Amino acid sequence: MSDDQPSSTSASHRGWLEKIGQALGSVEPKDRDGVLRVLRQAHDRRILDADALAMCEGVLHVADLQARDIMIPRSQVSLLPRSESVWELLPTIIESGHSRFPVTGENRDDVSGILIAKDLLPYLDPEHEREFQLRELLRPALFIPESKRIDALLKLFQESRNHLAIVVDEYGGLAGIVTMEDVIEQIVGEIDDEHDLDEDNWILSSGGDGRTIVRALTPIEMINEHFGTSFSDDEFDTIGGLVANGFGHMPRRGEQLVIASLHFEVVRADSRRIHLLAVREQAKE
């Protein structure tokens, strides 16, 4: 094949774009909702499959989220103290299974830097144990406000080559952390690995606006325990199942519903299931 012949991949790419153009037709979307409608029309015409549509929606959706919406809250962050003994750090590292840890000084708000667990490996050899100096292993911490937009944070991660950001509140205290994986999951869906402990991560964050972000797969029993409700789990095991049934259809982002004493808003969903919900107590009349 000569160099000036288009590759099959390029031709396929152009064909895909042409099909999207055909789906647009003479319609020119004037806002993001218009773009979403066109993408869903492309899905209805089988130009986009469900996974591609969900990812496109996820990309548009991250612009609505702030760090506080997806962060791991302070109470659930695994922290390491400044220590001159590598062996004092290992229990927390082994128990959590994480790869990156904020290192703190006198209190939990005094974050000195980030430790990558694999950097400790050379010092587990008794011959090198005395050479251990924690401060020399710390990477600079990336600090962001709770209001940091997630799309901007993703770009910041790429530019700084960091994989973890420290979220600080208005007083400069530790509010939580956000990882690169947390951001990417908002686009592609959940990324489970062998260290994910779902039972510790159902309730993702509680904001000052009274909303609590929860995973749709949170067991109803845990929702009842957290919010003091008494939803039945006879028919549905998860809060996502209960909410989807309440809507009577698979809801889209932004749709809202009140069930008993709780107000639910869909934060993230695709054509197959709900991923995240914002929950707040319904004001009593």
Q: Which CATH number fits the domain that encloses residue 238?
A: 3.30.465.10
CA distance 275 to 190: 8
Percent of the residues in the chain that have a pLDDT greater than 70, as a whole number: 79
Of 242, 245, 249, 250, the closest CA to residue 279 belongs to 242
Number of folded domains that form the chain: 2
What does the pLDDT look like over 222-254, one tens digit per residue? 999 989 999 998 888 899 999 999 998 888 878
> Does residue 52 lie in a domain region?
no
> Does residue 100 lie in a domain region?
yes
pLDDT higher than threshold 90 for residue 145: yes
For 80-97, what is the mean pLDDT? Answer: 85
Q: Measured in Å, how far apart are the chain's first and last C-alpha atoms? A: 74
Of the two residues 152 and 31, the one the predictor is more confident about is 152
Looking at the structure, tell me whether residues 217 and 131 fall in a common domain. no
Looking at the structure, tell me whether residues 127 and 172 fall in a common domain. yes
For 184-213, what is the mean pLDDT? Answer: 62
Boundaries of domain holding 96: 69-183
What does the pLDDT look like over 4-52, one tens digit per residue? 444 444 444 445 556 556 555 556 676 777 777 777 777 777 777 777 7
CA distance 94 to 90: 6
pLDDT higher than threshold 90 for residue 148: yes
Of 23, 15, 22, 16, the closest CA to residue 44 belongs to 23
pLDDT higher than threshold 80 for residue 152: yes
Q: Are 158 and 240 in contact (CB under 8 A)?
A: no
pLDDT higher than threshold 80 for residue 124: yes
Looking at the structure, tell me whether residues 179 and 241 fall in a common domain. no
* Mean predicted lDDT score pLDDT of the chain: 80
Residue 235 identity: E
Looking at the structure, tell me whether residues 148 and 99 fall in a common domain. yes
Looking at the structure, tell me whether residues 126 and 161 fall in a common domain. yes
> Does residue 217 lie in a domain region?
yes
Looking at the structure, tell me whether residues 171 and 277 fall in a common domain. no
CATH number for position 157: 3.10.580.10
CA distance 245 to 242: 5
Of 231, 188, 216, the closest CA to residue 59 belongs to 188
Looking at the structure, tell me whether residues 160 and 221 fall in a common domain. no
Number of CB atoms found within 10 A of residue 136's CB:
8
Residue with tokens 């039972």: 199
